[in-house]
Each structure stands twice: as C-alpha cells, then as structure tokens.
C-alpha cells in the first residue's frame, strides 16, 4: 500500500504511532492529514495559512484552522500533541527558530521535511551558471517562490540542535526514492539528498 | 422574574432510539422557529431552506432538527407582547433578558423533549451567540458547536447601531412608553426606521453598489425632493414597512439589548478560554469575508480561544461580497464545509 504514497509522506506515516495526537503545521489541502487519519487512526489537527486550503480541509471533515505558524503556534497548550509535523513548510516561515521552539513546547516528536539547498544540482547551478537554481524540489524562480529561508540539511540540523531538539533520524530522498535512514545528516546526504525528512525528539 | 415561560418550537425528522441525533438550530435577532418550513402566520418561507431539509447539509432524514423561538421573541414564545400577571401585555414590565436566559429556556425545552445531549447546536449571528453560550453553560450536553458569523461579545459599533434602532422605536409617539398594545397603537414608523438602519449592517458596501448603485426608482431623473428617488431608498423603505407587520417593537428592544449585554469572556472570569474550558466536543467556526457586522476577526478570536482551550476546532472564512447576510444565502463553499464537518462528526459518533 505505502508504495502509492509520496516517499516523504510514507516516512512521516512511519514516524507517527497509532492513535497519536498530531498537529500538521502548514497542512495545505489536507492530503497528509487524511492519510494520518486513515492509516494511523491519528487524532490529527491542522493549521494552514491559505484560506482555500483550510476550506478544502474542513470540507473533508478535517479539523483545521486558518493560522500563521509564525504567530499562532503560541496558542496551543504545552505538550498538547505527540507529534508535530512541518511538511515542506519550514523554508516558508519568517522565523524558523521561533517555530521550532514552539513545536518543542507543544509536542514530543517533530517531523520536518525540507528541500535540501545543498544538493549537488543546486550547487552546480550556482557554480556553473551563477543563477539561482530551479529544480524539481525548488520549481519556482527566485522572485516567485514562497520560500523565505532556504537552507541545506546541515544548516537545518544545526538549528534543530541549537533549539534543543535531538536528531533521531534523517531520511534522505533523492529521485523520488527513499535512501537509507541515517542517524543524522552528514556531508554525503547533504550533497546527494534532494529532500530530507528529519525526525526530532525533545532533548 | 418570569414565573412561567411558554416556548414555541418546530421540529423536523425523528429522534432515533438512543436520542443521539438531535440538532438544535438557534435563530438570529429577527428570525423565528421556521428554519425549514414556511411560517404559517406570516407566510414567509423557511429561512435556511438550502441547508436544512431532507437530503440537505443538515439532513432531516438523518437528524432530529429542533428550532425554537427565543425567549423575549414574538412568534409564540413568552415575550413582552405576551400577557403578564394582570392579564394585559407585559410591555416594559417584562424583565430584561440575556442570551444566557434564552439558552436556559432552550435547555428546558430540550429537557422536556427527553434529550440529554445534542449532537449539534448551530446558529448564525445572534444564533451563534446562543451556540457559544451553550458551549459555556452546558459543555456536556453538546457534541458539535457551530457558531457562524458571530462574536463572543458585542462591539461598540454593534451596540451603537442597536441603540439607533431602539431610539427610533422609542421616539415614535405611538410607542406610548412601551404600552402601545394597551393603547391600541403600534410604533410602526419607529420600528421601520430601526429595521432600515439594521438592514444596512447586514449588507456589504460592494453588494449594495452591485445591487443598487445610484439607480433611480421608477423615474427618469432626480425629483429634487425627499421621495425615494434612489432604488436603495425604496428597498430600505420596503424592508422597514414589511418588518413591522411581523415583529413586535418591544421584542426588538429586549432582544437587541440581550445581544448588547452579551460578553461571554466577562461572564467567565474575563477570558474566553475559561468559558470554553469544560467543552470536550468539536467546534466549527465560520465567518464571511465582507461581513463588517460580525467580521472574521471576531470569529478568529473565538477560534483562537478554542485552540487554547484544547478544543478540536475548525475555523474558516468564506470569500463573498454579500456581507453578514451571506450566512443565510446560497454559499456553496460554506455548505460544503458544513457538510464535511457534520459528516465527519456524525461518523465519529456512529450516526452514519
């Protein structure tokens, strides 16, 4: 079954225990939330900044509020979730460190998937052409992208450690396929992974 | 103090064996209990026909739907036009009532119907205030709360518009200090002006512009007088004059006052989170982008407090230019969201 699921979603599903309380920050139109509800029986809630996304989620019966993670995560009570998810969202946050801090207050585990700006194709684009890269993972040109804070896997890992998270695992994804799980990001994954999915535990 | 209260109500659908499929719908300021069928007294059609009925979002084939006229109203429930202890209409001797009183009266009705827990309490505008009051006052008796286009307290602007309306009623000599029924008159002019002012708050600037603009009413040119030259004037006059035939002026005073006094946080130690603390059900908070009477910011205050109270809440805003009235109109995105929320909640409760 999990063969039909996007690889980053499959990794996130694996990281979520059955019946867990889950908050999906930046849940879009609820695709991942619906999977978590169906496959994990999770009690899943979402926050999404776009109104169209929120309306789609509510129409599917998903509990989603319109909100801006940069500000609104502070509303949630301490430890109110087992897992907090940031799926392809952290790079669009104005204050990623504050978001990571809030997530640590709210939940015990945090799953973050992000595009890796350290991938070799990105580096090559910049080196060879002197242009901001446009790739599968980063499809918008520099002036159109919603991404405010692009980083490499190593950059993110440093920030996560600085905010007091422990790295439980890094799942690299490349060419749409899962690579072998690693205990943390290193020079090789920072070069070869197009996307990284970090599983973080409260230290 | 009211010794005895009569409550006029309507129901649709049937209560299931374990009495778990009841939905209470709370009406707005000038609404009535005829949410899903025509009012036989006024002849006015059902006020939420696109949402409530067989096969609709609030499906009367699945749910037992209850709607009652609010306390202080004039469609059968005890109000200022009802007979007081001396056998004559209460008038201004009727006690001032609150949204909480309206909800206590509804709870008494639900008790009398033998229903312990409501699957859902739904309402827009003043109906939404009642939904919030239900959540705060009877948190164990509500599974799903749907406050729509509403606020947890009345804003200064809303109190101001209500005050204009009340003053218009009271300035009409036929109001007779509130004793117009005994005097055999009715403050029709004052109440019509009140309705005209209120009606403006239900519509958005752009909707008024789109519907009426500066179009003239049945004439080719301005008359340079005070006739209803503009279509919008004629429309408002019509709204005012038809309203007085169906609504009691003192009811209008009492109910608008109840709305002005509504401040849910103040009644619960100063915080909305405190008001919602005991609620274990789910909530769905809806608002409409062009509603300046109960704007989306007011709904967001409710949603945020519910998040902080740990409630499973959905909060969304519908883009529309139809203003506050949008909640009563055909808004497909709104219907779709309500259907999704109620459907998922019903499955969770085993009410498939």
Least confident of A2-16, A94-108, B311-325: A2-16
* pLDDT value of residue B7: 98
Instruction: Please tell me the predicted confidence (pLDDT) of residue A203.
Output: 73
Helix B249-261 with B126-137: angle, nearest 10 deg: 50
Alpha carbons B79 and B91: distance in angstroms, whole number: 9
pLDDT in tens, B25-36: 999 999 999 999
Nearest to A58 among B300, B314, B347 (CB): B314
Q: Name the residue with tokens 């103040």.
A: B266
Confidence of residue B146 (pLDDT cuts 50, 70, 90): very high
Distance, in Å, from the CA atom of B20 to the CA atom of B116, rounded to the nearest integer, reads 8
Q: Which single residue is written with the structure tokens 């804070």?
A: A149
**C-alpha separations of B178 from A125, B9, B85, B245 in Å:** 81, 26, 17, 17
Per-residue model confidence (pLDDT) at position A4: 79
What digits encode the pLDDT tens for the residues B324-352? 999 999 999 999 999 999 999 999 899 86
Domain count, chain A: 1
**Integer Cα distance of A179 and A193 in angstroms:** 8
Rounded CA-CA distance B9/B71 in Å is 11
pLDDT at residue A1, as a whole number: 45
- Residues of A in CB contact (< 8 Å) with B are 43, 45, 51, 54-55, 57-66, 72, 75-77, 80
Q: Do A66 and B312 touch (CB under 8 A)?
A: no
Structure tokens at A131: 């242009």
The domain containing residue A124 runs over which residues?
Answer: 2-202
Q: Please report the pLDDT score of residue B352 as a whole number.
A: 67
Supply the mean pLDDT for chain A.
93
Look at B313 and A66 and tell me if their CB atoms are within 8 Å.
no
Cα B330 to Cα B318: distance, rounded to the nearest angstrom: 12
B95, B317 contact by CB (below 8 A): no
pLDDT tens digit sequence for A145-177? 888 999 999 999 999 999 999 999 999 999 999
- The region of weakest confidence among A2-6, A156-160, B131-135 is A2-6
The predicted structure's pLDDT at residue A3 = 53
pLDDT in tens, A67-124: 999 889 999 999 999 999 999 999 999 999 999 999 999 999 999 999 999 999 999 9
CATH number at residue A184: 3.40.50.150
Token pair belonging to A7: 């690889």
Q: Rounded to whole angstroms, what are the CA distances from B311 to A58, A63, B14?
A: 15, 10, 29
Q: What is the mean pLDDT of residues B297-302?
A: 97
Residue B155 burial (CB < 10 Å; 0-12/13-18/19+)?
middle
pLDDT of B275 above 50: yes
pLDDT score recorded for residue A138: 85
Q: Cα separation of B163 and B156, whole Å?
A: 10
What percent of chain B lies above the pLDDT cut of 90? 98
* Each residue's pLDDT tens digit, B300-311: 999 999 999 999
For the cut 80, the answer to whether the pLDDT of residue A2 exceeds it is no
Of B307, B312, B340, which is closest to A58 when you measure between CB atoms? B340
Q: For all residues of chain B together, what is the average pLDDT? A: 96
Question: Out of A30-44, A133-147, B163-177, B259-273, which region has the weakest mean confidence (pLDDT)?
Answer: A133-147
Helix then strand then coil, in percent of chain B rounded to 5, is 45, 15, 40
**B190-232 pLDDT, tens per residue?**
999 999 999 999 999 999 999 999 999 999 999 999 999 999 9
DSSP character string of A47-69: EES-HHHHHHHHHTT-EEEE--H
- Chain centroid to Cα B245, Å, comes to 19
DSSP letter assigned to residue B46:
P
Q: What is the ipTM of this complex?
A: 0.88
E runs forming strands in chain A: 21-25, 43-48, 63-66, 81-87, 107-115, 165-174, 177-178, 195-202
Q: Do B313 and A65 count as a contact with CB atoms less than 8 A apart?
A: yes
In a mutagenesis test of the B interface, which of A24, A30, A57, A66 is the best target, namely the one with the most B β-carbons within 10 Å?
A: A66
Domains of chain B: 9-154+264-348 (3.40.50.1820), 158-257 (1.10.1740.110)
Please give the C-alpha separations between residue B159 and each of A34, B69, B98, B205, B278, in angstroms, as whole numbers: 43, 23, 14, 20, 29
Average pLDDT on B282-309 reads 97
Chain B residue numbers touching A45 (CB-CB < 8 A)? 312
Q: Which residue of B has its CA nearest to A49?
A: B316
pLDDT surpassing 90 at residue B3: no
For chain A, say whether B83 makes contact (Cβ under 8 Å): no
Q: Does the beta carbon of B143 lie under 8 angstroms from any beta carbon of chain A?
A: no
What band does B184 get if pLDDT is binned at 50, 70 and 90? very high
Tokens of A132: 């901001």
């Amino acid at each position: 079954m999990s063969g039909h699921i996007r690889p980053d979603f499959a990794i996130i599903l694996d990281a979520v225990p059955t019946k867990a309380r889950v908050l999906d920050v930046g849940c879009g139109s609820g695709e991942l939330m619906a999977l978590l509800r169906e496959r994990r029986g999770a009690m899943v809630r979402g926050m999404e900044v776009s109104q169209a996304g929120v309306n789609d989620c509510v129409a599917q019966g998903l509990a989603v509020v319109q909100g801006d993670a940069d500000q609104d995560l502070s509303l949630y009570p301490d430890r109110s979730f087992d897992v907090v998810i940031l799926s392809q969202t952290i790079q669009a946050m104005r204050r990623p460190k504050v978001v990571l801090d809030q997530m640590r207050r709210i939940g015990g585990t945090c799953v973050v998937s992000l595009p890796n700006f350290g991938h070799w194709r990105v580096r090559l684009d910049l080196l060879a052409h002197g242009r901001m890269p446009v790739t599968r993972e980063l499809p918008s040109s520099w002036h159109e992208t919603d991404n405010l804070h692009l980083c490499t896997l190593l950059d993110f890992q440093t920030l996560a450690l600085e905010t007091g998270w422990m790295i439980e695992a890094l799942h690299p994804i490349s060419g749409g396929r899962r690579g072998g799980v690693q205990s943390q990001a290193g020079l090789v994954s920072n070069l070869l992974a197009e996307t990284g999915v970090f599983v973080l535990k409260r230290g | 103090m009211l010794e005895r209260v009569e409550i006029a109500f309507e129901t649709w659908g049937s209560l299931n064996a374990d009495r778990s499929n009841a939905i209470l719908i709370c009406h707005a300021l000038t609404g009535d209990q005829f949410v899903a069928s025509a009012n036989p007294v006024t002849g006015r059609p059902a006020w939420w026909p696109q949402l409530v009925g067989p096969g609709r979002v609030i499906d009367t084939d699945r749910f037992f739907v209850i709607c009652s006229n609010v306390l202080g109203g004039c469609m059968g429930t005890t109000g200022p036009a009802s007979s007081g202890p001396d056998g004559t209409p209460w008038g201004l001797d009727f006690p001032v009532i609150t949204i909480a009183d309206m909800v206590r009266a509804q709870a008494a009705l639900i008790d009398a119907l033998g229903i312990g827990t409501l699957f859902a309490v739904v309402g827009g505008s003043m109906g939404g205030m009642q939904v919030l009051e239900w959540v705060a006052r009877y948190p164990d008796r509500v599974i799903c709360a749907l406050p729509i286009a509403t606020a947890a307290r009345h804003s200064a602007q809303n109190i101001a518009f209500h005050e204009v309306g009340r003053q218009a009623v009271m300035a009409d000599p036929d109001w007779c200090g509130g004793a117009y029924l005994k005097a055999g008159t009715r403050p029709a002019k004052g109440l019509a002006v009140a309705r005209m002012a209120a009606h403006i708050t239900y519509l958005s600037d752009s909707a008024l512009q789109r519907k009426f603009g500066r179009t003239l009413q049945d004439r080719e040119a301005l008359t340079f007088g005070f006739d209803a030259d503009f279509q919008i004037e004629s429309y408002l006059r019509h709204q005012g004059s038809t309203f007085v035939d169906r609504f009691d002026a003192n009811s209008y005073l009492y109910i608008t006052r109840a709305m002005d006094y509504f401040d849910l946080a103040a009644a619960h130690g100063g915080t909305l989170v405190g008001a919602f603390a005991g609620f274990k059900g789910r909530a769905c908070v809806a608002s409409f982008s062009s509603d300046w009477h109960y704007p989306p910011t007011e709904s967001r205050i409710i949603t945020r407090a519910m998040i902080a109270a740990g409630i499973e809440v959905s909060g969304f805003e519908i883009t529309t230019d139809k203003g506050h009235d949008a909640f009563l109109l055909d808004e497909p995105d709104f219907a779709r969201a309500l259907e999704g929320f109620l459907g998922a909640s019903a499955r969770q409760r085993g009410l498939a």
